[in-house]
A and B are shown apart, each in its own frame.
Chain A
Amino acid sequence: MVKEIERAGIPVVHICTVTPISLTVGANRIVPAIAIPHPLGNPALTAEEEKNIRRKILETALQALSTEVTDQTVFEVKY
């Protein structure tokens, strides 16, 4: 789906846990997530802490969308 969206001319960032799959499939902007069943959350944390990491991941995603890339790039989240 990532590639078809990009093919349509819309920049797309893929937030996913298993980044090697994303790389194999061919996403260009990738942000690593937390875990498969809760990519943008962590039930072990308090609701506030959890929302905070979600913000960090999404801020990284926005940064990825604002960054020119020529090749597949994984944007690490700074927690």
Chain B
Amino acid sequence: MSKLRVVHYINQFFAQIGGEEMADYKPEYREGIVGPGLALQTAFGEEAEIVGTVICGDSYFNENLEKATAEVLEMIKAAKPDLFIAGPAFNAGRYGVACGTITDAVKKELGIPALTGMYVENPGADMFKSSVYIISTKNSAAGMRDAAPKMAKLGLKLAKGEKVGASCEDGYIPNGIRVNLFEKERGSKRAVKMLLAKINGKPFTTEYPMPDFDRVPPCPAVKDIAHAKIALVTSGGIVPKGNPDHIESSNATHYGKYDIEGVDDLTSDTYATAHGGYDPVYANEDADRVLPVDVMREFEKEGKIGSLYRYFYTTVGNGTAVKSAKAFAAEFSKELVADGVQAVILTST
């Protein structure tokens, strides 16, 4: 079998053309290996050969994203590779974005197996980790020795159409795809082992890593709460009895918006919870325990608040994806803003 043809993409810095002063360098194609391609070639051994290298300045690429992508794609296409590798970009932001963009374009537009590599906090990682394989590297070029064999190994798998393993096996940044597998030891044993390691201050790996949560700076306080229009929102699944919009009891795909004009109290005849995962008895008996319409109405009459917003928004928080919840609230917050709501009380079960 002949060797697989590989095209490699690097920036002006790794091509030893120059640093920041040469970042406007336009795309150039060179035959054979340049710079870090050598480490990749060593890792490929006899199985593949880097036939050409595309070099492009990071600023040029990022400032002329569409044009640069088209130019680089043309060069890659002309070289007829079986595999395309970009970087690794380590923690260089513009280089990471360039590597992700071009890898994604090669995969989608040319249909050629492609991968890149970068440090997990490189902005390019978040942008492209779900669309292309990105080998997780260290944050500086000192990580090349680690990265090259991993990139070469996964690259060969992709080029040959072999099955790709889990992110922890093949060393790429988790792309959000889950695969079933059988563990050798049962859950209780693994949990106790993990706990013992934790107590003894030894390293352990969680089997359920928490997603990364971003932060939003707090809004200024409400100046005059006694005259403010306040809305109620809940993730506790309170809905009109019968759940007219069929909000799912777990992993909700939508939210509800319900009119509470003239409603002074939520009763077991009119409201209930759609939420799974907690005992619904108490919420079904009296939904004010989750969505406190009764007391808010009293506050309204007593002048503690200006008014209670006419609608409440509700969904089920049980197992619902962060992405979904984010999309729900991004959507209904626009309505809240448009209707002049000045504060929100959000209750969770």
**Chain A residues proximal to chain B, CB less than 8 Å:** 1-18, 22, 24-26, 28-29, 33, 36-41, 43, 50-51, 54-55, 57-59, 61-62, 65-72
Contacts and interface: CB of A to CB of B under 8 A. Distances in A.
A51 B342 CA distance: 25
Contacts, number: 168
Contact of B333 (A8, A37, A58): A8
Interface of B: 210, 213-223, 225, 228, 230, 233, 235-236, 278-283, 285-286, 288-290, 292, 294-296, 298-299, 304-305, 315, 325-326, 328-330, 333-334, 336-337, 341-349
B348 A15 contact: yes
Given A62-B304, A70-B218, A38 B282 contact: yes
Contact of A37 (B282, B295, B346): B282
A58 B294 CA distance: 11
A62 B294 CA distance: 15
The 3 closest A-B pairs by CB, nearest first: A41-B289, A4-B329, A8-B333
A14 B290 CA distance: 12
B346 A13 contact: yes
A55 B282 contact: no
A23 B175 CA distance: 26
B282 A13 contact: no
Contact of B218 (A8, A22, A69): A69
B312 to A, nearest CB: 13
Nearest to B327: A4
A31 B219 CA distance: 16
A5 B333 contact: yes
15 contacts: A1-B329, A3-B215, A7-B216, A8-B336, A10-B219, A14-B347, A26-B213, A38-B290, A39-B289, A50-B289, A51-B295, A54-B288, A55-B298, A66-B223, A71-B218
Contact of B220 (A11, A39, A40): A11
